Amino acid sequence: MSRNIFLHPTLPCSTQLALRRAGYETLDNLSSTSAEALSKELKIAISESQTIITASQRPAGPPLSQSLASLISRSQTFACSYATVNTALGGGLPRGRILEISGPPGSFKETLALDYTRIFVESNEEVIFVDTQNTTSLATIKKTFRTSPAAADYRDLVRYAHLHTLPDLMIFIHNLLSEIHPKTGLLVLNSISFPFLSHPDLQYSKRTALLDKIRQVFLRASSLNNLTIITTSQMSTKLLNADGSPGNFETGAKAVMVPQLGSTYLPSGRSYRLVIVPDSRTTGAVQLLSSPVPQPGEAPPPRHQYDICHIDN
């Protein structure tokens, strides 16, 4: 029986070709080689060869006869309709990664999440779409597919749920791994920060524990099941002292807007954090706050201007 496995979500084309040229067609072919030998043979980093070797030995993986090509087919990058977002992400969103989209009310974060929903459905993949704030309904999703080639199929491929409370969200997270089907490619958690805002008296230690539980499940779902995850989040105000340290209403020299939940719930090394900074209803900038790909230098990440009246089709 086929089982899910995480091989490498962004395996470069050069590595794919090198594997095939060296005669590695199945996971069984890799079972008798070492990471050091594979690194030397393919001229790739030892860390990358170790990831491939480890994946081939995992008992939770697919049968060893499953071809490398079939796994690689689930490692592509998805480009959305917004060229500015693709540029910020370095070309698009790789499969099996996590994208947090933050922005103030009225920004196009939900529209962007719906665009990725359309892209996955048009690839004949199932999407789990969860809304917690009544900002995206089934009618809105239907409108997204109005001119899509997948207009007749989206009802079969989109599983929609509306969660009302923080306990509802955590129950969903607890059961998520069992809800992932072989055809499930994307999870969208729209307004993931809202259930936490509805519990302002939640103890800090309890909040941290819940966010850590989400992080653990996200890590397993994205790595072992190759599930792509998109969350949208509200913004909150953070006060800073003149030296940049956290401040309060008495000492703070400036206020900045930051994603509501922080980064605790996002697995490091797998997550992109994108913030939308509107200038008007249709224009503004997007900025990548963090990425699995190390950013050169210490300069802040650049802002990329957008105009949602002009998108790629």
Residues 28, 53 within the same domain: yes
Domain boundary at 37, 72, 107, which? 72
- What's CA 70's distance to the chain center, in Å? 21
**CA within 13 Å, CB half, 311:** 15
Token pair 């340290």: residue = 245
Which of the residue ranges 36-45, 149-158, 218-227 has the most confident prediction, judged by mean pLDDT?
A: 218-227
**Cα(185)–Cα(222) distance, rounded to whole angstroms?**
10
Q: CA-CA-CA-CA torsion for 133, 134, 139, 143, nearest 10 degrees?
A: -50
| CATH at 290 | 3.40.50.300
**Of 72, 96, 117, at which residue does a domain stop?**
72
Most confidently modeled range among 12-26, 85-99, 225-239? 85-99
Q: Does 8 score more than 60 pLDDT? A: no
Residue 8 lies in a domain: no
Q: Are residues 143 and 198 in the same domain?
A: yes
pLDDT at 62: 43
Residue 11: the pLDDT is 47
Q: Mean pLDDT over all residues of the chain?
A: 80
Segments forming the whole domain that contains residue 41: 13-72
* pTM across the whole model: 0.72
**Model confidence at 273: pLDDT above 90:** yes
**What is the Cα–Cα distance from 289 to 258, expressed in whole angstroms?**
10
Confidence at residue 236, expressed as pLDDT on a 0 to 100 scale: 67
Both tokens of 108, joined, read: 């196009």
195 occurs within a structural domain: yes
Structure confidence at residue 105 as a pLDDT band (50, 70, 90): confident
Cβ-contact 60, 38 below 8 angstroms: no
CA gap 202, 249 in Å, rounded:
22
> What letter represents residue 57's amino acid?
Q
Total structural domains in the chain? 2
Neighbour count for residue 1 (Cβ, 10 Å): 4
180 lies in the same domain as 222: yes
Residues 300 and 273 in one domain: yes
pLDDT reported for residue 295: 61
What is the CATH number for 52? 1.10.150
